[in-house]
Structure 1
Amino acid sequence: MSNDSIVQGFDLEKDDSLKINLHVRDEALVLYLTGYIDTYNSNLFQKRIVKAVNAGFNKLIFQCGGLNYVSSTGIGSFTAFLKLVKGKNGDLVLIDVQPKVFEVFQLLGFSKFFNIKRNLDEAIEFFSNTGSSAAEKTIFPKIFKCPICSKKLKASKSGRFRCSECKTILAIDKTGQVFLG
């Protein structure tokens, strides 16, 4: 199935620096990203994604396995998409985020705003469960101490983040268990 058969006119404008392939899974639009997002191509990236949202997709899954660089402008694009789909009772999930791309999200403090999952099945499950289970809602927000520096931290949901004091990368699972990395 071609991109244009999923979102009419999606491929009218393209950029070789960022390839986007569309796939529909359940009620979500999966966007396979290959290349990079920077100041020069972020405007076209935004236009194409807005076209998909305007076509009725408010559950977006960005498959980032082939995304090798995202600038702060690119992060701004993802933030704009999140605001756009939240306004339409939707959400977005990032999956298979490469470590150096994830680090940009963390360094800029945006990793806590995005739903970042390991794979497509977890992303689909996220949308099936409307974001979190009843058990997770009773655990979060969770206050705990950083295992490295003992700084008191608060996690509003499961995921990965960076300690504000020692900058250690931490992960917290749905049960509230804290891990390094």
Structure 2
Amino acid sequence: MPKRKHFAVVVLMAFALAMAGLAQAAPVQGYPALQGVKSMNAVIDVRGKSPGAMLGALKLVHAMYKDKAVTQTDPGRHFVVIFIGPAVKLVSTARQGFSPAEAKVLDQLAQEVKAMAADGIKLELCVFAAKVFNVKLPTILPEITQVPNGWISLIAYQQKGFALVPIY
């Protein structure tokens, strides 16, 4: 190969490699923090006590799970939502102590939980907290797995590399 062609090939290859590097350096869907991220596994520690705030938080978690930036970064992502503390009262079919308006929000919350589970988000409930808050276990929404202690699950998921997202 003549020196001129060899030089042109080397320059073109260098240019192609530089462009590939620039493409990789570009933030994913506007999130610079996603650069180099291979896994989007998250455990969400939910402890809220307000039906409206909880519904908003769960909708946000669900939207985050389906966000294009997240699905492109890790199509096999895993999200786990763990209900701890007073949040256990909000994922029960029992409506004692809630106003009619709050009961309607709790019905919407139950639908959101169902949709999250259908999309692949795992949901767990701390049985210890349910006992503390006098929530009868048979009233827990059926999409939610009951675990003896939610903190143990939180620790275990973090040991497996899941990022902790607290919602208090």
Which TM class, normalised by the smaller chain length?
0.3 to 0.5
Highest Rg: 1 or 2?
2
Higher strand proportion (structure 1 or 2): 1
TM-score, reference length from structure 1? 0.38
Higher helix proportion (structure 1 or 2): 2
Name the structure, 1 or 2, with higher relative contact order (CA <8 Å, separation 6+).
Answer: 2
TM-score, reference length from structure 2? 0.40
